[in-house]
Structure 1
Amino acid sequence: MSLAFLLTTLVVVATPGTGVVYTLAAGLSRGRRASVVAAFGCALGIVPHVVAAITGAAALLHASATAFQVLKYAGVAYLLWMAWATVRDRDALGVDGEPGERSPGRVIVRGVLINILNPKLTFFFFAFLPQFVSSGEPDAALRMLMLSGVFMAVTFVVFSAYGVLAASVRRQVISRPRVMAWLRRGFAGSFVMLGAKLAVTDR
């Protein structure tokens, strides 16, 4: 494993995106445990993209404009739904909420869906992983799996750090209803902007 791979992975993972926004929201609304669970869900959502890239399904998706558009707009719709749910559900970032009220299963499922419905991840792995695997390497698929595992581990650690940091200021934040209201709008706006960004991206 090269230093270049680790540095590139760290930069890609640490760049704020839908997973970071979701993990931050989980940390602020439900505490440290929920933020770690959310980070796990986001990391788990990478698995289908890894499988697609390694099996060559990404090449088929890349060749089919229709398949790409369907997956892309499914992702956009989900992000917009997340924005609407964040504004509508006052308990999502509620002043009276206690850490762990939302079941871990629901937190994980949302995190998984956020990453599954992002076709850019598939193309990222399709273009990213081969750069660190020699074309003539006999165990190329195994090496790609190993590198993908490292990418997922880094995702989990970085996202958890974001969430735990947010959870550390949770008590100071939730005691201020007006701040919570603006946070809900801010997170909703972030999901809308990320959805708009995904909607206008091309392959």
Structure 2
Amino acid sequence: MDASFLVTSIVITATPGTGALFTISAGLSRGARAGIVAALGCTLGIVPHLLLALTGAAAVVAANPPLFEALRWVGVAYLLYLAWGMWRDERGFAEDDADTRTRAAGTTARVIRDAVLVNLLNPKLTMFFFLFLPMFVDAAAPGAVARMAGLGAVFMIVTFVIFAGYGAGAAGLRGVVLARPGVDRLLGRGFALTFAVLALILAFTPHQG
């Protein structure tokens, strides 16, 4: 494997984006387990983008402005939905322990669902796999698809490891945050505003067809 691909994947994944922020939020609100579950969900959300790249469908999406725009605006709407939910939640990152125990399975499913959708509805990932992966694969060489799939798997592993670290780190700060209700609510509003800003950035990012 090209070391430059690994380094570039680490840099891209470690740069805070919607997936990283969602994972941090999950770790702060529900603890280390939820942070790791969110990291797994965000990683699974990469799979459809990789499949698009492997089948060549990513090129169709990138070259089809209406299709790309539709995907982008669904992503914008979902980010705004997450932002609105966080803004309305007066508890910030606090969650009642009894409630957590009785709804653990539902909470896990909800975290995975939201995490998958955060990355699934991110058209930038489609563009990433369409423009970035081919730079490290000779399309004319035998086994090019298998090599691209392998690089995609490496990117997913890097994503999971880094995001799980974000989630676990956030969970480590959970006690400190919850002990200060004012800080807790402020952080919750801050995350809500951050998701809203990311939605606006996605909305006004020009399509690079």
Please tell me the TM-score bracket, short chain as reference.
over 0.9
Q: CA deviation at 1:86?
A: 0.7
Letter in 2 for 1:22: F
Instruction: Tell me the percent identity.
Output: 51
Q: CA deviation at 1:95?
A: 5.5
Give the paired residue count. 203
Q: Which residue of structure 2 lines up, in the alignment, with residue 106 of structure 1?
A: 110
Q: Which residue of structure 2 lines up, in the alignment, with residue 65 of structure 1?
A: 65
Letter in 2 for 1:31: G
Checking the alignment, whether the CA contact within 8 Å between 1:29 and 1:93 is kept in structure 2 is: yes
Q: Deviations over 1:156-184 (max 9, x none)?
A: 00001011111111111111111111011
Q: What's the Cα RMSD here?
A: 1.5
Pick closer, same or farther for the CA change 1:90–1:26 going to 2, 3 Å: same
Q: Which residue of structure 1 lines up, in the alignment, with residue 203 of structure 2?
A: 199
Checking the alignment, whether the CA contact within 8 Å between 1:54 and 1:126 is kept in structure 2 is: no
Pick from 174, 187, 192 the counterpart of residue 188 of structure 1: 192
Pick from 119, 141, 156 the counterpart of residue 137 of structure 1: 141
Find the aligned partners of 1:5 and 1:164 in 2 and give their Cα distance: 26
Find the aligned partners of 2:52 and 2:89 in 1 and give their Cα distance: 34
- Secondary structure in structure 1 of the residue aligned to 2:132: helix
**Residue segments in structure 2 that go unaligned for 5+ positions in a row:** none
Checking the alignment, whether the CA contact within 8 Å between 1:26 and 1:35 is kept in structure 2 is: yes
TM-score of the pair, normalised by structure 2: 0.93
Find the aligned partners of 2:92 and 2:178 in 1 and give their Cα distance: 11
**Residue segments in structure 1 that go unaligned for 5+ positions in a row:** none
Q: Which residue of structure 1 lines up, in the alignment, with residue 6 of structure 2?
A: 6
Checking the alignment, whether the CA contact within 8 Å between 1:42 and 1:112 is kept in structure 2 is: yes
Find out whether 1:40 has 2:27 as its counterpart. no
Checking the alignment, whether the CA contact within 8 Å between 1:36 and 1:160 is kept in structure 2 is: yes
Find out whether 1:164 has 2:168 as its counterpart. yes
Q: Deviations over 1:106-140 (max 9, x none)?
A: 10110000001111100110111111111322111
Find the aligned partners of 2:27 and 2:195 in 1 and give their Cα distance: 16
> After the TM superposition, which of the residue ranges 44-53 and 133-142 deviates more from structure 2?
133-142
Pick closer, same or farther for the CA change 1:95–1:178 going to 2, 3 Å: farther
